[in-house]
Every structure is written in C-alpha cells, then in structure tokens.
Amino acid sequence: MYTIEKAKQLKDNSRIKRLNHHDLLKKVVLMPHTTETDAYAWVKRDLKEKGWDVRNPARHPHGEVYTQNEVFSHEELRRQLEGSQPENVVKVEEAHFWVIEAKREHTQLQQALNEAKEYANSINRSQTIRAIVVSGVAGNEYDGYITRSAFFDGNEFRPITINGREVSGLLQKEIAKKIARENTPDLEDVPIDKTLFLSKAEKINEILHLGAINKNYRARVMASLLLSLVDETPPNRNNPPSVLIGEINSRASRVLRLQGKGNFADFIEIALPPTEDNHAKFRNALVQTMQELDSLEIRSAMNSGTDVLGEFYEVFLKYGNGAKEIGIVLTPRHITKFAAEVLNIALQDIVYDPTCGTGGFLVAALDYVKRNANEIQLNRFKQNNVFGIDQEPEVVALALVNMIFRGDGKTNITEGNCFQKNLKTAIIDGQPSARYVSVEESNENQEPITKVLMNPPFALKTSDEKEYKFINHALKQMQSGGVLFSVLPSSIMIKGGRVLAWRRQLLQQNTLLAVITFPHDLFYPIGQHTIGVFVKKGIPHPRNQNVFWIRAINDGLLKKKGKRLPNPRASNDLETIKNDLKSFLANPDVQIVNIPEFQKACPIDFSDRHLELVPEAYLDSKIPNNQEIEEGIEQLIRQSVAYMIKSKREITVNG
C-alpha cells in the first residue's frame, strides 16, 4: 500500500520518465499537456453538478467542499491529518466526511483510491468525526475521468453499490447522505433523478454533435455504448479510435449473443467516420459520453425498477429524422406504469405489445408483476409471458438492452412487421405461453394473449397502416375476455368514414370498458391530442352497460425549459382515478361518483349517428356558481368593448 509521503513524492516526479514509448507518442501527437489540476477542476465541476455546494465550509455557511489546505480551517481535520492535504474533503454531515484523491492517468486509479484510504484512516483516529466514504479519481481531458469509491464500515473499506452495481461516478449529494444515514454501502431502489437524467441526455447529445456524429446515427451509438457497459469492467478509454470502437462493438455483440439476440449486433455496430480527420473527434465524443454515463450511474439505474432508459434514449431518437418520418411517438413512462397498474397485470397473464418501441409497456408489466412474485415466478414470467415486436431494429435493440439490464425478459422481443407475425398458444415447461408463427400458420381458438398494452405509430397521411388496424391485429390474438389498452389519437374515436365504420364493428364484437382523455401536451413537443381506451375482447358491447368516461387533463407534469417534468405543484388526475378505474375494469357494475367535466359512468349513446366515443361527449357540464357567472359576464363585456373600440378605429382609418 502506498504511504501518503510516497504518494506525494510520486506527484513531484516527472511523468515523462514513467511513460512507455506508446504512451509518450500518444501524449505528444494526440493530446495537450495535462496535469493533475485538470482532474481537480473536473472533480469540482462534477460535485457541483451532483448537488454539492463546492464552496469552502469555513467561509460559507452552506459550503460543503474543502480543497487541499482549506481543510486546515476545520480544527479536528487539521489535528488528525497532521499537515497532509487531501485534494478534497466533502462534508456529508457535521461529523461525516468523504475524502477524494485525484491522479492524471487511468493507470493511477488504484493509487488514488489507496491514498484517499490513508487520509481516511488518519481522520478516523478521531473520537468525534469519521471519514465514511473515499474516492479515487483518475484521468484527464483527453482520456476522460474514471472513479472508484468505497465505504468504511468501521473495520474495512467496502465497495459502494446501488441496485447491486458498483458505483462508477462521484456520489450525488442525496446518495452520500443516504449512505451516512443508513450506515451501509449497499443501496437499493434509490430514487432516480429524472431531471438530471434528461439534462444529461441533452448534454450527451451535444457532445455527440460536436463529435461529428450524425443525428440519425446517435441512437445506434447509444445502444452500442449501453450494451458495452453491461460488464463490470468498462472499455479501455485510453485506446486510439479504431481500437476503442472495435472493443465497444465486440462487447455489445458478445452481450447480444449471450442473450440469444446476436442477429441485432449489425444494427447497432459503430463505424469510424470516413474522414480520418474526424477520428480523434469521434473518439473524444465516445470517451466523454461514457464518462457522463458513469456519472449517471447508468448501470445501477437500469437495474432498478424504473424504466428510465426509454426516456433517456428518446432524447437521441427524437433528433433523428427517422422518428418523425415513421410516426414513432414513445410513450411517457408514467403512462406505461399507470396502464400496467390499472390492468392489474398478474403472473398468469400473457402480455403483448405489437409496437413495443423501447419496451416501456413491457418493462412496466414486469415491474408490476415483480411486486407480488418470488424469484422463480418472476423468472418464469420473464421467459414465457412477455412478448413484443417493433419494426425498427435499432429501437428493438434498446428494448433488449432495457430487459438485459433487468436480468431477462428479452426472450420474446423481436424485430419485424407485426402484421406478418401472429402469436399462437404454446405450453412451455408445463405452463401456458405463446410462440410466434407466420400468419398462414395461425389458427382460430389458439389465441394466447390475455393483456395488451400498446401505443401504435401515429398514422401518417400517406400510410395505409392506420392506428385502428393495430388494434384489430392485437385483438385477433387475444383470448375472449382479455383486456386491451391502447393510446390513440382522439380523432380515431370522433371522425366519420372508415374509422366510424371501425368503431361500430369494434362494438359489435367487443366491449368498450373505459376511455380517458389525456393531457393535450402529453407528447410535447408533438402536438397530438390523445386518449387511452380499454377494450374487452370477444363480448359484443351490451347497450345498457356503463362505460367509464374520464377527462384526466392533469398528470402531475408541467412544461419547463422545453420539457414536461414532474412538478409537486401540478395536480395528478391519473392518481385520482387509478383505483376507481382498476375496480371498474374488473367489474363495470361498481358505482362511480359523477363529477362534472371530470368523470362519469354511463352507457354509450347508440342513437348518436356519429358514435363519438370520447369523454367530452358524455361528461356533464359544470354548473357555474355566482362568482363564476359574474366573472364570465365581466370578461364578455371586456371583450365586447375591446372589439367595438378596435372596430371604430378601423372605420376611422379606412374612412
């Protein structure tokens, strides 16, 4: 183990003497001169981004980071360190500290961590304070920065893990405080900071843009990078461009092969830019992106019960031309979770999404089932009860990554045209399941699916694949009595012509259970008014049966800086109606409170020749109170006066 004195001596020695010929050539030809001060500056920036106040606690009441000799302003730290100066000491709590040491070469990571441990051991001689966390940081602006951390449990230093994955970046403030409160390095189900994830995704998109990576190519790059990070040991970022990219591709391909999905490797393979001048720029973009993914603890997040990958990936997909051209609208994750909960997905259900995209609905189904299943039951469900298809190979690759990070569930996710593949009943390990067959091989009375969750591509004007055709396709593969949920454009349930004929046919063969109007900006920035429909397969709609009509125009999110994000000030109609809807889907005879302009249970008006099946056609109008009437009259008078003044001016000008 290095001593502090030896470590400080190494800092003073010339790095050139210890560089081999290859490293020296790389330094001279490819990168500017670097020093440990680069790493110091990066540590400060990253800590600030993770929520820490990087000011000196001795000078600022809210400061949390001592840098080198600033540590002497803390009497007990000064006494225990005896004149030695760690790069940074972070105040986690009044009596709990975090020591960080930094080096400029990746090969020095363990050295940095060892030095941090020695500083911590010195601090821990104290009777009043403890250094509970240590981190080593190694790197520079060319190679990027890597991090390793450990927790001192009173006897030894142990790796810090989140959801079973060792942390790969500096700790977010809330995570460090959680470690201190719970006195453990092994954390589970740490809340995901969605705002941070989306801001990082935007930052990575900008990094890839500056790296000359075409916007239509970025989704592929992200898919391959994420797969390459599945292993505990990350790719060697010190390698030149061709070697680094080769390693990333090899790792991604190996993961897919091990998961039985090797045929997807070609769809996400990264290629060097054709112009050699861009090779170094491309490599730097990859290195910086991996660093940002480390900072996000992406592997830990993917091992959680939160489908953050789909939203994270959507940032890259939306910049490509492909998403808009083929009608891809990825479903917000709070909607996929809501649908799985109200459908009450159970272990015996066979779940299908014929337009699965990044797998949001399937992940939501897995996570819901996980609540009430043991490990054996959950593994069986993952293997035999989850099915998904999407026509875009790169998007399917992300669905596979989503499932791979969850340990399984990717077995029955495939690429292709869902209209050319049907699901047929199968028995696997003595349990009901399904298998894909061609349309010609499928037979009636062998429909396996019990629950469908889907968001079909929003039809383009020139497309023949209208949204309702996906509904028909899914219903054909469902058992009688199975329940389908689908996100649809509102127009599908209002327009005449072919869609009116479809609505009539739908009710002749199936039962409409509920319809929800979603917020008008649910898919912001795409301006598409949407609804959610719940349909029971195979039972003609009884004319006197109630349908649950809901206008849930608030979902707990508000627009901020071009994004819709959770906001505690926003009301959430979906949470309000969730339990009632879940009960109604199980038994349409349950009593539902009639709330004007919000919810109502009543039969379909079959006398309506337009057969409009949207909540707005059935909800009662709200009766205004005296104050609302007075305010309405006042507003009307103001508008009338303004109109008369404007008209008079126009007459005067034109006269």
Q: What is the pLDDT of residues 259-306, one digit of tens each?
A: 888 888 888 889 888 888 888 889 999 999 998 888 888 878 777 655
Q: What is the pLDDT of residues 203-234, one digit of tens each?
A: 888 898 888 888 778 878 888 888 888 777 78
Q: Same domain for 198 and 182? A: no
Exposure string of 301-338, with b = 16+ CB inside 10 Å and e = fewer, is bbbbbbbbbbbbbbbbbbbbebbeeeebbbbbbbbbbb
The number of C-alpha atoms within 13 Å of 480 and in the hemisphere containing its C-beta is 7
Cα separation, 101 vs 169, whole angstroms: 13
Q: Same domain for 465 and 585? A: yes
Q: Which residues pair with 186 in a beta bridge?
A: 161
322-326, 514-518, 563-567: range with lowest mean pLDDT:
322-326
Cα separation, 473 vs 354, whole angstroms: 8
Per-residue confidence (pLDDT) for residue 405, from 0 to 100 = 66
In 68-202, the DSSP E strands lie at 88-93, 96-103, 130-140, 144-152, 157-159, 161-162, 165-166, 186-187
Q: Any residues with CB less than 8 A from the CB of 578 and at least 6 apart, and which?
A: 338, 341, 342
Q: Cα–Cα–Cα angle for 470, 471, 472, nearest 5°?
A: 90
Give the residue, 465 or 457, on which the prediction is more confident: 457
Q: Same domain for 204 and 289? A: yes
DSSP for 289-316? HHHHHHHTTHHHHHTSS--HHHHHHHHH
Residue 38, pLDDT above cutoff 50: yes
The torsion angles phi and psi of 433, rounded to 5 degrees, stand at -150, -155
- Position 309 in a domain: no
Q: Same domain for 207 and 87? A: no
Q: Same domain for 392 and 507? A: yes
- Position 318 in a domain: no
Range of 638's domain?
626-655
424-438, 464-478, 548-562, 615-629: range with lowest mean pLDDT:
615-629
CB distance 39 to 138 below 8 Å? yes
Q: What is the 3-state secondary structure (H, E, C) of 52-102?
A: CCCCCCCCCCCCCEEEHHHHHHCHHHHHHHCCCCCCEEEEEECCEEEEEEE
- Position 342 in a domain: yes
The CATH number assigned to the domain holding 496 equals 3.40.50.150
What's the mean pLDDT when you consider all of the chain? 85
Number of domains into which the chain is organized: 4
CB distance 622 to 597 below 8 Å? yes
CB distance 410 to 400 below 8 Å? yes
Q: Binning pLDDT at 50, 70 and 90, where does residue 628 land?
A: low
Per-residue confidence (pLDDT) for residue 325, from 0 to 100 = 42
Q: Same domain for 260 and 360? A: no
Q: Same domain for 562 and 475? A: yes
Give the residue, 359 or 401, on which the prediction is more confident: 359
β pairing state of 161-162 and 186-187: parallel
- Position 464 in a domain: yes
Q: Binning pLDDT at 50, 70 and 90, where does residue 409 land?
A: low
Residue 415, pLDDT above cutoff 90: no
The torsion angles phi and psi of 415, rounded to 5 degrees, stand at -100, 140
**Which among 135, 169, 187 is the end of a domain?**
187
Per-residue confidence (pLDDT) for residue 238, from 0 to 100 = 84
Per-residue confidence (pLDDT) for residue 638, from 0 to 100 = 81
Q: Same domain for 426 and 547? A: yes
Cα separation, 75 vs 611, whole angstroms: 78
Cα separation, 371 vs 438, whole angstroms: 35
Q: Same domain for 203 and 78? A: no
Q: What is the pLDDT of residues 588-609, one digit of tens each?
A: 999 999 999 999 999 999 999 9
Per-residue confidence (pLDDT) for residue 650, from 0 to 100 = 57
DSSP state of 465: -
Give the residue, 53 or 406, on which the prediction is more confident: 53
Structure tokens at 504: 């009539």
CB distance 615 to 517 below 8 Å? yes
DSSP for 564-602? EEE-TTS-BHHHHHHHHHHHHHH-TTS----BTTTEEEE
In 258-409, the DSSP E strands lie at 351-353, 386-390
**Residue 525: cis peptide before it, omega within 30 degrees of 0:** yes
In this prediction, residues 30-58 reach a mean pLDDT of 83
Q: What is the pLDDT of residues 306-358, one digit of tens each?
A: 556 666 766 676 654 344 444 456 788 889 999 999 999 999 999 999 999 88
**How crowded is residue 609: how many other Cβ atoms within 10 Å of its Cβ?**
8
- Position 587 in a domain: yes
Of 548, 479, 466, which Cα lies nearest the Cα of 512? 548
Cα separation, 90 vs 134, whole angstroms: 10
Q: Same domain for 504 and 570? A: yes
Q: Same domain for 454 and 509? A: yes
Q: What is the pLDDT of residues 362-400, one digit of tens each?
A: 988 988 998 889 989 988 998 899 999 988 887 787 778
- Position 204 in a domain: yes
- Position 585 in a domain: yes
Q: Same domain for 605 and 653? A: no
Cα separation, 293 vs 272, whole angstroms: 21
